[in-house]
Amino acid sequence: MIADLVPDGVQAWEAYGDAGPEAAIVLFPAEQALVEGVVENRRLEFTTVRGCARRALARLGVAAEPLVPGELGAPRWPAGVVGSMTHCRGYRAAAVARAVHVAGLGIDAEPAEPLPAVVAARTVPDAERDWLEADFRAAADVPLDRLLFCAKEASYKAFSPWLGSRFGFNDFRVRLASDGTFQGAPPDGSGGFSGRWTARSGYLLAVVCLA
C-alpha cells in the first residue's frame, strides 16, 4: 500500500500486524528501555514498526541505529536520513530517504472508520467541515473526517523538524481531492505543499514528502 504513495528516492516497508519477521528483531538497549513494563500489544507494535524502519533503512543502504524519540517526540534517524513511522490497529509502516534529496517526510495510517464525535469536533474546523460536506462527500466512500485527520498528521510529521514546538497538528490546513492527492498550508506561511492519500484494505494512509 505505502509503496504506491511514496515518490522515487523514498524507501518504505509495511507490515500487517505483528506476526511477520519485522516483529522478530532484537531491540537496541535504548529502544528496549522505552518499552520496559508496557503491555504486550504495545511492545509488539513498537518492535514491529522499528522492524519496518530497519528494512526501509537497509533498502537505502543505511545501517540500523536505535530509533528513540527526540525533543519533539519524533524518532531520531541516522545522520543524513529523514524518516517517519506510523502504526494503527493491525498496520505498521516506515519510510526513509536521504536528507540531500528530501527535506521532510511524514506518513500516517488510520483505520478507515469515522472519528469519535468528540475528536472530530476538536480536529476538524467548521470551514474544513463545510467544504468536505459540499465538495467531497459524493466523490469518495471514505470517512472524510478521519482522512483529514490522517493527512494533517502526516503533514505535521513532515514539517515538525522545521517548525519546532510552537505549532501543532491543528495549525495545518489541508484540502483533500478525490484523485488521491491533497494540498496543504503550514502554519508558518512558508508556502503550500502537496501530499497523497489512499483508502485500501480497511485503512487510510497519507504521505507528505518535502523536496
pLDDT in tens, 82-114: 999 999 999 999 999 999 999 999 999 999 999
Residues 115 and 96 in one domain: no
Q: 28: which DSSP letter?
A: P
Domain range enclosing 200: 110-210
Q: In terms of pTM, does the model score above 0.85? A: yes
Quick one: pLDDT at residue 204? 97
**In 68-183, alpha helices (H):** 117-123, 126-131, 144-163
Taking residues 125-148, what's their average pLDDT?
A: 74
| Nearest Cα residue to 16 out of 67, 89, 83, 85 | 89
Number of domains in the chain: 2
| Helix, strand, coil percentages, rounded to 5, for the chain | 35, 25, 35
Q: Do 48 and 88 fall within a single domain?
A: yes
pLDDT averaged over the chain?
A: 90
Share of the chain above pLDDT 70, in %: 94
In the structure, what pLDDT confidence band is assigned to residue 135 with cuts at 50, 70 and 90? low
Same domain for 93 and 172, yes or no, is no
- What is the percent of the chain where pLDDT is above 90? 67
Instruction: Give yes or no for residue 150 having a pLDDT over 70.
Output: yes
Query: Do residues 136 and 71 both lie within one domain?
Result: no
Question: Residue 25 belongs to a domain with what CATH number?
Answer: 3.90.470.20
Reduced to 3 states (helix: H, G, I; strand: E, B; else coil), residue 134 is helix
- Domain end position, chosen among 86, 108, 130: 108
Query: What pLDDT was estimated at residue 134?
Result: 65
Whether the predicted pLDDT of 140 surpasses 60? no
Is 67 found in the same domain as 37?
Answer: yes
